[in-house]
Amino acid sequence: MRAAIVREISEIKVEGLPRRYPHLPWREEPLELVDMPIPEPASGQVLIEVLACGVCYTDVDIVEGRVRCKLPVIPGHQIVGRVVTSGSGKLQRFSEGDLVGVAWIGKTCGRCRFCVTGMENLCDEFQATGCDINGGYTEYTVAYSDFVYRIPKNVDPVHAAPLLCAGAVGYRALKLTDLRNGMRLGLFGFGASAHIILQVVRKIYEDVEVYVFSRSEEHRELARALGADWTGHPNDDPPRRLDRAIDFTPVGEVTARALELLDRGGILVMNVIRKQTPINLDYEKHLWSERVVRSVANVTRRDVEELLSVAGRYNIETHVQTYSLEEANKALRDLKAARIRGSAVLRIS
């Protein structure tokens, strides 16, 4: 089978972007395309023929070493494919040919205080797909059966892929906002995750105003097309103050700006692994008046299952830009350069 592998940490070279990590190798093609044997599933695992795999900014972080993973590794944690067989040779939860998905949460211990209280995303033994476990930039992959999901029949594989991370983690962030009808929600950054969550808000809430903040006019145009009530640059002032906000950006200044626009008692959820620039806050200006800041760490299986259910019920539309497996390096470069409108997806087979 063919697979794209990260063998060592390097900085992704993108024309027009300055170099940030001079101590690292600088490569336009940090992924190596190789031929390797089809993996054999162990007990409790299933073998999946990969049809599509979403390309996430976390994959950029993995290549550049901001997310530490086992190396070499096959990245990709938004996997959609068909079940081939199981480690025992006898399929239980699934049948041969079932359309399934695999997300970032690849395995947890199932025993710790986090796992038994529904917070398995915080498990000390959390294993991430495409990081601790080989992922979906390949023609075949194996996954633990208990962490595999049925894909709604009315969603095709390419458009389903972004739901498994961009959608699921955004959905978790949305739940953490404690959003209610009559409120105003601000979305800061409008990429793969936010463009899905805007649609979810429009489907499950009757009376919520959504304000989208993005530096990109193209992204603001997409937000308006998907039902945003107002769009603007992060430096622009919205019509009214925000009750809830989600920050999808890696920029520290945006976090401060979101808190500045948050009304008293408001909640900001930070849906990002790390900030690439510092967050400088003034207590009175940004935090006082009982403003709340929350972070999102990984996702649970319940988040993925709920989001897939919502997507199937309401026909959530993911906007995708597709690449072949051979173009995986180009997909990473385009993602790093913010040239993706919606989500990037590898069409495998």
- Mean pLDDT across the stretch 199-224? 96
CATH number at residue 225: 3.40.50.720
C-alpha distances (whole Å) from 314 to each of 164, 170, 201, 203, 309 are: 16, 17, 11, 7, 9
Does residue 173 contact residue 196 with C-beta atoms inside 8 Å?
no
- Give tens-digit pLDDT for 84-94: 998 876 777 89
250 and 107 within one domain: no
For 35, which DSSP code? E
67 and 96 within one domain: yes
pLDDT of 76 > 90? The answer is: yes
Q: By percentage, how much of the chain surpasses pLDDT 70?
A: 99
Q: How far apart are CA 203 and CA 171, in angstroms?
A: 13
State the pLDDT at residue 267.
98
State the pLDDT at residue 88.
75
State the pLDDT at residue 104.
97
274 and 247 within one domain: yes
- Give tens-digit pLDDT for 9-44: 999 999 999 999 999 999 999 999 999 999 999 999
State the pLDDT at residue 92.
78
187 and 158 within one domain: no
210 and 155 within one domain: no
Q: How far apart are CA 87 and CA 145, in angstroms?
A: 10
70 and 155 within one domain: yes
- Mean pLDDT across the stretch 186-192? 95
User: pLDDT band at residue 259, thresholds of 50, 70 and 90?
Assistant: very high
Q: Give residue 312's domain range.
A: 2-165+299-347
- Prior bond to 152 cis, omega within 30? no
29 and 67 within one domain: yes
State the pLDDT at residue 268.
98
Does residue 236 contact residue 213 with C-beta atoms inside 8 Å?
yes
- Give tens-digit pLDDT for 54-71: 999 999 999 999 999 999
- Give tens-digit pLDDT for 279-322: 999 999 999 999 999 999 999 999 999 999 999 999 898 999 99
Paired strand residues for 83 = 48
State the pLDDT at residue 55.
97
179 and 271 within one domain: yes
181 and 270 within one domain: yes
Which has the closest alpha carbon to 194: 226, 230, 218?
226
Mean pLDDT of the chain: 95
State the pLDDT at residue 274.
83
User: pLDDT band at residue 167, thresholds of 50, 70 and 90?
Assistant: very high
Distance of CA 316 to the CA centre of its chain: 16
- Prior bond to 72 cis, omega within 30? yes
Our count of domains for the chain comes to 2
CATH number at residue 85: 3.90.180.10
256 and 158 within one domain: no
Does residue 13 contact residue 64 with C-beta atoms inside 8 Å?
no
204 and 130 within one domain: no
The amino acid that residue 314 corresponds to is Y
**DSSP code per residue over 137-188:** SBSEEEEEGGGEEEPPTTS-HHHHGGGGTHHHHHHHHHHHTT--TT-EEEEE
161 and 172 within one domain: no
pLDDT of 228 > 90? The answer is: yes
